[in-house]
Each structure stands twice: as structure tokens, then as C-alpha cells.
Amino acid sequence: MTIFRHKVSLYEPFTSIVLIDSFWILNTYPDFSTFNNYLTQTKLCDEINRRQTITVLAVANDAMGGVQGSTDVIKRIMSNHVVLDYYDEPKLSKLSKKSSLLTTLFQSTGDAMYQQGFLNVTDMKNGEVMFGSAVKGSSLNAKLIKKIAAQPYNISVLQISAPIVADGIQNLNATAAAPPPKKSPSPPPSASPKKAPSPKNSKASPPPADTPADEPAADAPADAPSSPPSPVADAADAPAPSDAKKSSATSVTLGSAAAIVVVALSSWVAL
């Protein structure tokens, strides 16, 4: 026998808090015996009873064929049918955006990946309320059938048409083992930066730097061979004629002075 036992707090003015035990017995509904047995075998009932506010999405026996696998796999699937909030038919028919994401008990385990721990609920245009996994690409495969039991705003048990099996939830062990190989490629990049100094030494070596430097130097005189050397040659020759002119000017000056002395002497003798 599976019993949902929950303590509800009732607040009344000018009185203390009154605690009431509410019992929800799914095994009183034979059509849900398989769903009920899975909750017992996986010990999800204990976790449900610890919650203050929950909604259980129950599936009838004739639709439970999709729930298969090991005990761990079944527990993951079943925990995705326990919503960590209160939802009843009136609340589901008044969704503000006609669609909402519901957090499940599976999300609280920390094992969910890629939104596997969330459900998508949508109020369709035809008035039907549809449920489905929130994993990208998933369809809305479960339709709300009816209310089984409710205690606003603590516990609600609703019947849906089919189980909701999130994509990849059955292979979580294989996916969890995938990260270790991802860590193996990380050492190579760490080793490569250690070898980085060697290219720096090659850049510092003069031979490769000189080779490209010589090539442009050879191109420059090829483009204008006459112009660069000519001004240099002119500049070198310029000082030579200037010195010659200075020496000639000095000799002319000395010659003129000697002539003046001779004329002066001749005039003095004449006197």
C-alpha cells in the first residue's frame, strides 16, 4: 500500500498553527496499481512525503508500457511525474502565457541534463491541456485526463494519458561517463604554451631577420640606381673645388700685395 502522507498548515486569525495529516491513497484506484508499485519500489513516496507542495501526474496501467528499464531508470522517469508545485485543473486552464515550464523532482536530484528535469505544459486552443518533456525537440505527448485527488494548495494528483520520458534520461550513466574523455584533450593545450618560448628564440635569431632585410635593400638601388649615388658624389666633390678656390684667392691676394710694395719702392726711389 502506498500512502501520500502530508502535513498541512492551516492559519487561522488569533489562533496558533493547527497541523493536519492528509492521506492520499493511490491503491484505492486499481487502474493505477503499476504506477503505485513503481513509486513504492523506487522509494519515491518517502521523498514525496517530505515535500510541502507537490503535484503527481499519474498514469493508468494500460499506458505504462513506456516505463521500462533498471530501477534507477524507472526512478528517473517516475520522478519526472512529480511536480514541485501545486497544479489543479482550474490553475492549468488559466496559464498566463498559455504555456509554462514545471520543475520536477528529478530536477532536484542534480542528475538532469538539457532540461530533462522540466516539463512543458500548454493550454491548447481546443481547451485541452498537454504535457511533455522540456528537452529541445520533444513533443507534447501526454494529455490531462482528470483530477484524482486534491488538497489545495498542497497536494494534487492528476491523471495524464501517457508517461513522459525525457530524451536521454535512460542513458544518463553513459552521458555522465562522457566528460572524462573531454578532460584528456585539455593537457595538450597546456603543454603547447610551454613550448612557446622556442618560437620566440627563433624570432630573435638574426639570420631569418637579415634575409628579408637584404632583399628590400637590393630592390631600392635597382629602382633608382642613378639618383641616390649622384647626390652623394656631388656632396663629396663639392668641398674639393671650394678649397681650390680658397687657395687661388690667397695667391691672388699675395700677388697684389707684392705688386703694391714694388710700386711703392719705385716711387720712393724716384723721389
Which of 14-18, 148-152, 164-168, 181-185 has the highest average model confidence (pLDDT)?
A: 164-168
pLDDT of residue 26: 75
Q: What is the pLDDT of residues 173-224, one digit of tens each?
A: 655 444 444 555 555 555 544 554 444 444 444 444 444 444 444 444 444 4
Q: What is the pLDDT of residues 11-31, one digit of tens each?
A: 433 332 233 333 455 778 899
- For domain 3-165, give the CATH superfamily: FAS1 domain (2.30.180.10)
Task: Give the residue extent of every domain in the chain.
Answer: 3-165
Ranges 123-132, 172-181, 182-191, 224-233: which has the least confidence: 224-233
Residue 114 has pLDDT above 80, yes or no: yes
Question: In the predicted model, what is the mean pLDDT of residues 259-266?
Answer: 44
Q: What is the pLDDT of residues 59-78, one digit of tens each?
A: 999 999 999 999 999 999 99
In 3D space, the residue among 57, 127, 53, 59 whose CA is nearest the CA of residue 95 turns out to be 127
Q: What single string gives the DSSP state of each residue in 75-113? A: HHHHHTTEESS---HHHHTT-TTSEEEEEBTTGGGT---
